[in-house]
Homo-oligomer: A and B are copies of this chain.
Amino acid sequence: MNTDSHLDAIDTRIIRVLQTHARATFDEVGEQVGLSASTVLRRIKRLEEAGVITRYAAIINAEAVGLGLTAYLNVRLEKHTTSHKRSPMDAFRASVLTWPEVVECSSLTGEMDYLLRVVVRDMAHYSRFVMDTLLRHPSVQDCKTSFVLDRVKHTTALPL
């Protein structure tokens, strides 16, 4: 989790390959960057240990697995601590981590406190999530939904 992991040009090129082809063999990566498989192996291991590469993910077509609806949800929390134990913020964060529908959650500058990306099967499921789970949460004051009509671009690759 280092902030300055002093990557050289070859590390950057290796990362670029793995961002789109995470199952490439060390030989294949080596061919792309002009290095032997064993050297590539050592560099990738170093990047993993330094926390630069955090994990490898298969990217799944949501519609193909029956998850046809995604929404962005702006959430505003209560401003006051009702209990002496912990803040609404901490309670909300802990809950978000347990809700599988929420695939992404960030705290933001601006009027709304959090932006969630929520992926569900259909509108019935979405409605249940908002009514029965989100709005019932004691930390949540209100929320605003925007449904995704079309995904124009969706990459997991950072601009390197």
Residues of chain A at the chain B interface (Cβ within 8 Å): 1-5, 7, 12, 15, 18-23, 50-68, 70, 72, 93, 96-97, 100-110, 112, 114-115, 119-120, 144, 146-160
Contacts and interface: CB of A to CB of B under 8 A. Distances in A.
Contacts of A61: 1, 51-54
Contacts of A54: 59-61
B153 A96 contact: yes
Copies of this subunit = 2
A71 to B, nearest CB: 9
Nearest to A70: B106
For the complex, would chain A's binding face be called helix, strand, loop or mixed by DSSP majority? mixed
Given A56-B23, A60-B53, A65 B152 contact: no
9 contacts: A2-B64, A4-B66, A18-B57, A96-B153, A103-B156, A105-B153, A107-B150, A107-B152, A156-B156
B150 A106 contact: yes
Contacts of A1: 61, 63-64
